Amino acid sequence: MKVLAGAVVALSMVASIAAIAHEGATGVIKERMDGMEAIGQQIKIMVPMMKGTLPYDPEQVAKSAAIIESHSGETFTALFPEGSDEKPSEALSDIWDDWSKFTALANELNSKATDLKTVAENNGPEDDFKAALGQVMRTCKSCHSDFKE
């Protein structure tokens, strides 16, 4: 119950932030921002479990990992037609200069999310959960530092 309440609060907070960030975004840009927001929400749900401020909940982690999985890989890169970096997008044009690196990172996010989901579905130990989530979060950082404003 506590976990649920926390997740609901986090979700509503993120939703109001997203509404501001998305103002004016349309088409694929809005779609990929929405996907990234959905991913961000899942991270916000899991980080307290990683820190130990909420109990590790494998069922929730499996759900969150599946959502990240569904917004990564080719599903994500398909939303980046060449040159679609106009405002309010925060995408950098380097995406199309180094498309293979960008797609590799999107695929890496997909496979790390699958790893995380597998740990959770098998009711794996908390330390494995933390390690797998850490891997997912490293991928966010790698891609954002190269390809996002």
Chain positions contacting ligand HEC, by CB under 6 A: 18, 21-22, 29, 32-33, 36-37, 39-40, 43, 68, 89-91, 102, 105-106, 109, 136, 139-140, 143-144, 147-148
Q: Which residues contact 96 (CB under 8 A, 6 or more apart)?
A: 80, 82, 83
As a whole number of angstroms, the distance between CA 124 and CA 6 comes to 23
The nearer residue to ligand HEC, 1 or 48, going by C-beta atoms, is 48
Residue 101 CB, nearest approach to ligand HEC (Å): 9
User: What type of residue sits at position 102?
Assistant: F
Nearer to ligand HEC by Cβ, of 24 and 52: the residue is 24
- b/e burial code for range 15-32 (CB count within 10 A of at least 16 → b): eeebeeeeeebeeebeeb
Contact yes or no for 14/44 (Cβ under 8 A):
yes
**Min CB(122)–ligand HEC separation in Å:** 21
Q: Smallest gap, in angstroms, from Cβ of residue 1 to ligand HEC?
A: 26
- Our CB check for ligand HEC shows the closer of 54 and 104 to be 104
From the CB of 25, what's the least distance to ligand HEC, in Å?
7
Tokens of 57: 């909940």
